Amino acid sequence: MARVVLGVAGSIAAYKSAELVRLFTKAGIEVTVVMTRAATEFITPLTLATLSNRPVTVEQFGPPVGPTAGWELSDSSGGAVLRVAESDRPMESATVVGGEGPRSASGIEHIRATREADLIVVAPATANLLGKVANGICDDALSTTLLASTVPVLFCPAMNTRMWEHPAVRANVRQLMERGAQFVDPGTGELACGEYGAGRMAEPEEILGAVRRLLSGVRRGRLLVTAGGTEEPIDPVRCISNRSSGKMGFAVAEAGRDLGYDVTVIHAATSTPPPSGVTLLPVRTAEEMGNALHHLHADFDLLVMAAAVADYRPRRAHAVKLPSGEASMRVDLVPNPDLLASLRGQREGKLTVGFALEWGGTPRERVARARRKLQEKGCDLIALNNPLESDSQFGGDTNRITLLYADGRTRELGLLSKYDAARALLDGLPAPRPIAPVLSLVPTTAGAKPKTKPSTKNPRRTATPRRSGPSANPQKPPRGGSRKKAPR
């Protein structure tokens, strides 16, 4: 099980740390919280202790409360309160609150947890905290933990725009990055102070994505996903569409983001919120989706076509609303181009994944038809949906997918959440570039045990973990679609 220490500093964004603890725990990450005193003005240690089910460290030097060295367990407001009495190890004396912490004098497990952590995440990181750590000041439990540790650190700053842009803060951030610290930059939006600008802490999901990348190794590359169901207009208010919710495409985008891809999603109509931290490109029709794909796909390493593109569109889209009340209406349909096949010949060096929905016949016949599609469209992988089971329908949260690879392999994924199915799909593909474990980006100090050898080749040692989105590739928006980042 991965172990993360979550440092919480005194920003209004500290309320988001509760959600972070919940997300980490749900993702199977053991989380130990260390707070600054200022942070306790914004969220109580008891809240975080309860959510993490572990003691929370606040004070570096806790008041002696017992007659002997060790832990005393008492009850406070329905939660357990643990205090360290006498300690001859200043680094290990602390006041901790709540959780199922140590109950004997044999050791101070929460400090051990910080020593054994795989990663320290500071969210929110205040201007004050960044300044202290950059300058080697350790006058509280969190700054001391950070200075005493050799594990990778991920800072998620939150502050007013003018603070974030202040030369002193810029210099501190630069200094920390040069020493190997990683950052999830704050986003732009309305700030708690009522102003608008950069400084808002990244959303917990995005931070979890960065944490997953740091814990599991980074897969750099650009992933283009299509999602949702296209809408083919009959007139300005009516259209032909399908029941696609966009959940599978968004799950692929989310899983790709968590694996470290820069993700762009071209999406038609959806009925589910998009993931954060990916670039969204809304379109309506199959034609718009085709235009977007033709403009963009050359810039991507991996294309996953999860959208339900209408096979047919009305021959004519009427410019004005057709009158209602007619006894019958005839709509002539013409086939839409096959978007995946239309990109054939332009996809050299890129991995392409298609989705197939086969109805009727035996499972073996459906697999055979999907395999024919794989060959005709020149894909590397086809994910065959099973629409006949009630647990793998459009709009549902689970799916049963069969993966058919170009080299002839077939892999049944069984019943999985759409996210897990997407993860398995992406995990089964070759990485576009070599996986570089991020732990190697952090310089190790003499005497400290390096987890992996520091890489001298990797220029990303000083890089901020990139936000998802192909920022290095200015791309033309397609007709009818404007590019926007998922809401933060």
Ligand X SMILES: Cc1cc2nc3c(=O)[nH]c(=O)nc-3n(C[C@H](O)[C@H](O)[C@H](O)COP(=O)(O)O)c2cc1C
| Choices 6-14, 246-254, 307-315, 473-481 (CB under 6 A): range interacting with ligand X | 6-14
- Give dist(CA 286, CA 311) in Å, integer: 9
Position 217 contacts ligand X (CB under 6 A): no
Contact pick of 95, 126, 245, 279 for ligand X (by CB under 6 A):
126
CB nearer to ligand X: give 69 or 163.
Answer: 163
The structure tokens listed for 177 are 């990055």
| Choices 111-119, 120-128, 315-323, 384-392 (CB under 6 A): range interacting with ligand X | 120-128
CB nearer to ligand X: give 2 or 192.
Answer: 192
Per rule CB under 6 A, count of chain residues that contact ligand X? 15
Phi, psi of 141 (to 5 degrees): -65, -40
CA angle 292, 277, 349 (to 5 degrees): 50
Position 57 contacts ligand X (CB under 6 A): no
Position 172 contacts ligand X (CB under 6 A): no
CB nearer to ligand X: give 58 or 422.
Answer: 58
| Choices 11-19, 353-361, 365-373, 454-462 (CB under 6 A): range interacting with ligand X | 11-19
- Give dist(CA 264, CA 253) in Å, integer: 8
Position 128 contacts ligand X (CB under 6 A): yes
CB nearer to ligand X: give 159 or 252.
Answer: 159
Contact status, residue 4 vs residue 208, Cβ threshold 8 Å: no
- Give dist(CA 434, CA 457) in Å, integer: 13
With tokens 């996953």, the residue in question is 304
Position 171 contacts ligand X (CB under 6 A): no
Phi, psi of 31 (to 5 degrees): -125, 130
The structure tokens listed for 12 are 């209004």
- Give dist(CA 213, CA 445) in Å, integer: 23
| Choices 34-42, 63-71, 439-447, 478-486 (CB under 6 A): range interacting with ligand X | 34-42
Determine whether 193 is an active site residue: yes
CB nearer to ligand X: give 131 or 275.
Answer: 131
The structure tokens listed for 293 are 């794909």
- Give dist(CA 319, CA 235) in Å, integer: 6
Contacts of 149 (CB under 8 A, 6+ apart): 5, 114, 115, 117, 120
Question: On the CB side of 285, how many CA atoms lie within 13 Å of its CA?
Answer: 20
With tokens 């603890």, the residue in question is 21
Phi, psi of 285 (to 5 degrees): -100, 170
Contact pick of 127, 215, 224, 382 for ligand X (by CB under 6 A):
127
Left, alpha or beta for 378 (phi > 0: left; psi -120 to 50: alpha)? left
To the nearest whole angstrom, how small is the minimum distance from the Cβ of residue 199 to ligand X?
7
Position 138 contacts ligand X (CB under 6 A): no
Contact status, residue 89 vs residue 105, Cβ threshold 8 Å: no
Contact pick of 5, 6, 12, 117 for ligand X (by CB under 6 A):
12
| Choices 158-166, 245-253, 296-304, 420-428 (CB under 6 A): range interacting with ligand X | 158-166
Q: Which of 156, 193, 239, 379 is catalytic?
A: 193
Position 36 contacts ligand X (CB under 6 A): yes
State the binding string over 224-263 for ligand X (x if CB under 6 A, else -).
----------------------------------------
To the nearest whole angstrom, how small is the minimum distance from the Cβ of residue 455 to ligand X?
32
Q: Per CB under 6 A, which of residues 416..435 are in contact with ligand X?
A: none
To the nearest whole angstrom, how small is the minimum distance from the Cβ of residue 192 to ligand X?
7
Position 10 contacts ligand X (CB under 6 A): yes
- Give dist(CA 11, CA 38) in Å, integer: 8
Cα 367 from chain centroid (whole Å): 32
CB nearer to ligand X: give 417 or 464.
Answer: 464
Position 39 contacts ligand X (CB under 6 A): yes
Position 339 contacts ligand X (CB under 6 A): no
Task: Identify the H or E element spanning 170.
Answer: helix 167-178
Position 9 contacts ligand X (CB under 6 A): yes
Contact pick of 2, 23, 38, 415 for ligand X (by CB under 6 A):
38
Position 158 contacts ligand X (CB under 6 A): yes
Position 353 contacts ligand X (CB under 6 A): no
Between the CA atoms of 256, 387, 330 and 325, what dihedral angle is there, to the nearest 10 degrees?
-90
52, 40, 46: which is closest to 14 by C-alpha?
Answer: 40
Position 129 contacts ligand X (CB under 6 A): yes
Contact status, residue 385 vs residue 356, Cβ threshold 8 Å: yes
Position 48 contacts ligand X (CB under 6 A): no
34, 29, 76: which is closest to 55 by C-alpha?
Answer: 34
What amino acid positions are annotated as catalytic residues? 193
> Contact residues for ligand X (CB under 6 A)?
9-13, 36, 38-39, 126-129, 158-159, 163
